[in-house]
């Protein structure tokens, strides 16, 4: 099959593909582009909000492995809804949130030798030869160790892919983007939730605005995802272990058409000004 272009996205955990790039994946697939999704970890240190899948009180290691299996199943179902043409779970262990004891696990993704995941991603870049790559910024969006490692791995892979490997020709990705959730819109959502007496990051006494989201002037690309919102939320709902009963996601869904009608990105490789598509100029 001849694809117009290939979109290659690197995420850290199952469910990340829906929240910041679900609309982009759906729109790209609908426009006939090939979409490739790399998910670096199995998400073993995620939450377990679905009461049918509750962990045992002491959370033995096998319980966390089971959660990883559940989340991979959720990821595969979500990917089908999003029209992902090729899904590549790398299978690394979740590192947990910043500051958790799990950060010190030698098997955690954040502690992997950089060349290992970078090399695996570079091989996929040479194989698929994408025109566009999307991943997180150097802060991982909000400081999660696995998001930061996904960024480092993807950026190192971009350089490595430009060198030939046995059986693979080199490839330089023409356009590279960071996910860039609008800080203004995120703060507006949290302030509305506070009016409804819901807990938000604003309740943290050490809250800093610059830790979350991206300033409007740094956003280069705004992709209208309104026609795809219902399917985006359908895909997100497959991640039941993470969002079952979540008032936050229920609120975000109800207000998305008004507050988040677009998914936003920061272009870090490629020419041009403000744009409405990651494929502009190709």
pLDDT digits (tens, 9 = 90+) for 127-165: 999 999 999 999 988 788 999 999 999 999 999 999 999
Q: Specify whether the CB–CB gap between 169 and 46 falls below 8 A.
A: no
Q: What angle do CA 29, 15, 173 make, to 5 degrees?
A: 50
Q: Specify whether the CB–CB gap between 38 and 117 falls below 8 A.
A: no
Q: Is 211 inside any structural domain?
A: yes
Q: Is 235 inside any structural domain?
A: yes
Adjacent-strand bridge partners of 264:
222
In the numeric block, the tokens 């490595």 are attached to 160
SS3 84: coil
Averaged pLDDT, 109-129: 97
Q: Is 279 inside any structural domain?
A: no
Q: Is 282 inside any structural domain?
A: no
Q: At 39, phi and psi to the nearest 5?
A: -115, 120
Around 107, how many Cα atoms within 13 Å sit in the side-chain half-sphere? Answer: 10
| Residue 2: band (very low, low, confident or very high) from pLDDT cuts 50, 70, 90 | low
Residue 53 pLDDT exceeds 90: no
Residue 56 pLDDT exceeds 60: no
Residue 111 belongs to domain with CATH number: 3.40.50.10320
Q: Is 255 inside any structural domain?
A: yes
Residue 34 pLDDT exceeds 70: yes
Report the distance separating Cα 42 and Cα 146, nearest Å.
11
Position 231 scores a pLDDT of: 95
Sign of CA pseudo-dihedral 52, 248, 28, 117? negative
Q: Which of 35-44, 92-101, 150-159 has the lowest mean pLDDT?
A: 92-101
Q: Specify whether the CB–CB gap between 22 and 232 falls below 8 A.
A: yes
181-231 pLDDT, tens digit each: 999 998 898 888 888 788 888 888 888 888 888 999 999 999 999 999 999
Give the number of other CB atoms < 10 A from CB of residue 181: 19
Please count the structural domains in the chain.
1
Q: Is 1 inside any structural domain?
A: no
Position 247 scores a pLDDT of: 67
pTM summary value: 0.93
| Residue 57: band (very low, low, confident or very high) from pLDDT cuts 50, 70, 90 | very low
Q: Is 150 inside any structural domain?
A: yes
Residue 276 pLDDT exceeds 60: yes
Position 270 scores a pLDDT of: 96
Q: Is 276 inside any structural domain?
A: no
In the numeric block, the tokens 């956003």 are attached to 219
- For residue 204, the enclosing domain spans 6-269
């Amino acid at each position: 099959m001849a694809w117009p272009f290939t979109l290659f996205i690197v995420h850290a955990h199952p469910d990340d593909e829906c929240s910041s790039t679900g609309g982009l994946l759906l729109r790209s697939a609908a426009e006939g582009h090939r979409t490739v999704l790399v998910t670096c970890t199995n998400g073993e240190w995620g939450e377990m909000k679905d009461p049918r899948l509750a962990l045992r009180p002491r959370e033995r290691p096998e319980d966390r492995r089971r959660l990883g299996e559940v989340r991979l199943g959720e990821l595969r179902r979500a990917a089908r809804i999003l029209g992902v043409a090729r899904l590549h779970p790398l299978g690394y262990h979740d590192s947990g949130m910043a500051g958790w004891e799990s950060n010190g696990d030698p098997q955690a993704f954040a502690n992997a030798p950089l060349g290992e995941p970078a090399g695996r991603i570079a091989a996929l870049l040479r194989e698929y030869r994408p025109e566009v790559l999307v991943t997180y910024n150097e802060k991982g969006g909000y400081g999660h160790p696995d998001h930061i490692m996904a960024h480092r791995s993807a950026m190192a892979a971009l350089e490595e892919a430009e060198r030939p490997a046995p059986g693979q020709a080199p490839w330089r990705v023409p356009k590279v983007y960071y996910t860039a959730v609008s800080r203004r819109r995120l703060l507006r959502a949290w302030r509305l939730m506070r009016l409804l007496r819901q807990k938000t990051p604003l309740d943290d006494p050490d809250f800093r605005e610059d830790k979350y989201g991206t300033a409007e002037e740094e956003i280069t690309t705004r992709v209208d995802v309104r026609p795809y919102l219902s399917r985006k939320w359908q895909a997100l709902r497959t991640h039941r272990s993470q969002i079952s009963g979540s008032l936050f996601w229920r609120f975000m869904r109800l207000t998305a058409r008004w507050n988040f009608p677009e998914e936003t990105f920061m272009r870090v490789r490629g020419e041009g000004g403000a744009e409405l598509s990651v494929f502009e100029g190709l």
